[in-house]
Amino acid sequence: MDFKNAKELLALCVEQNMRISDVMRQREIEEGETSGELCDARMKKAYHIMGESARGPIRKPVKSMGGLLGGEAKRLSDWQQGKGRGKSLCGPVLGRAATYAMAVLETNASMGLIVAAPTAGSSGIVPGVLLALEEEFHFTEEEMIQALYNAGAVGYLAMRNATVAGAVGGCQAEVGVASAMAASAAVELLGGSPKACLDAASTVLMNLLGLVCDPVGGLVEYPCQNRNAAGAATALTAAEMALAGVPQLIPLDEMIVVMYNVGRRLPAELRETALGGCATAPSACEACGKCS
């Protein structure tokens, strides 16, 4: 069981009466010549690493290697728990998703253990969204692992038919694809159809189209961490739209091509070279003098 694009994936879902996650899991077993037990165990391990990388910095903030990050996730978490003077604007799901997404980037930037999803620079979004949904809706671990296969299917389509490298396609290929993965997984978890999953993924890529990769000092720290929080928010809004049945005009396959074409047209300065965007703002350059 294999598929090259979203159209074929959707056809398999309809023919076999399977969810996207089921098809992706079956594909891994058959094409990867492995067993369901081994795959699930590996996925479970990944989910545990994700959980630890998201919760660690909230318990104990850590300073990043480049010195630009440390303590952001704890601040957000404290604020949401009413430890500040105001009230949380985002509510529990989005609030936690953003917090966890930033926490994973803090773990990553301080040489902690993370799961690239699909890349290290965008590793906060899938765990951020999934952990927040697990806590809010009390899903089982099996359901969360199943959701990861769904996310993996969307990431695979982007990797196969476009790129997930910031150096090739800008941040839209990293944070954009990660958010598309999270949106699709969220829709399946909440009982949406395979088509609704892919619509949500398409909406995300549309909304993050053109996002540039401009890391300050060339390091995976800033604005990467902020963008992971923003990516989680984009994923949740797109998932909500898809679940509500808001139509998406452009199918995922087309949107992946659109994203790829936009990415390749981005000047090199805006593709992970730290020669443009936020990386060349005077304050960023000043801050960076301290980090190299």
Distances (CA, A) of 6 to 32, 137, 252, 281: 20, 28, 6, 39
3 lies in the site for another protein, by CB under 8 A: no
182 close to 130: Cβ distance less than 8 angstroms: yes
Name the burial class of residue 209, with classes exposed (0-12), middle (13-18) and buried (19+) by CB atoms within 10 angstroms of its CB: middle
User: How many CA atoms are closer than 13 Å to the CA of 76, on its beta-carbon side?
Assistant: 27
Tokens read off for 42: 């590996």
Question: Considering only residues 10, 126, 132, 262, which one is a binding residue for another protein as defined by CB under 8 A?
Answer: 126
Question: Considering only residues 9, 13, 20, 39, which one is a binding residue for another protein as defined by CB under 8 A?
Answer: 39
38 lies in the site for another protein, by CB under 8 A: no
Tokens read off for 131: 């952990």
Question: Considering only residues 59, 83, 160, 265, which one is a binding residue for another protein as defined by CB under 8 A?
Answer: 160
93 lies in the site for another protein, by CB under 8 A: no
Write each residue from 215 to 254 as x if it is in contact with another protein (CB under 8 A), else as -, in one continuous string.
--xxxxx---------------------------------
Question: Considering only residues 101, 133, 151, 278, which one is a binding residue for another protein as defined by CB under 8 A?
Answer: 151
Q: Name the segment binding another protein (CB under 8 A); options: 9-17, 82-90, 101-109, 237-245.
A: 101-109
- Partnered with residue 213 across adjacent β-strands are 271
96 close to 131: Cβ distance less than 8 angstroms: yes
Question: Considering only residues 114, 200, 233, 255, which one is a binding residue for another protein as defined by CB under 8 A?
Answer: 114
Tell me how far apart the alpha carbons of residues 67 and 51 are, in angstroms, rounded to a whole number.
Answer: 24
52 close to 113: Cβ distance less than 8 angstroms: yes
Question: Considering only residues 3, 79, 100, 156, which one is a binding residue for another protein as defined by CB under 8 A?
Answer: 156
Tell me how far apart the alpha carbons of residues 27 and 272 are, in angstroms, rounded to a whole number.
Answer: 33
Please give the residue ranges that form the binding site for another protein (CB under 8 A). Answer: 24-25, 27-28, 31-32, 39, 42-43, 45-46, 49, 64-66, 107-121, 123, 126, 148-149, 151-153, 155-156, 159-160, 164-165, 167, 181, 217-221, 291-292
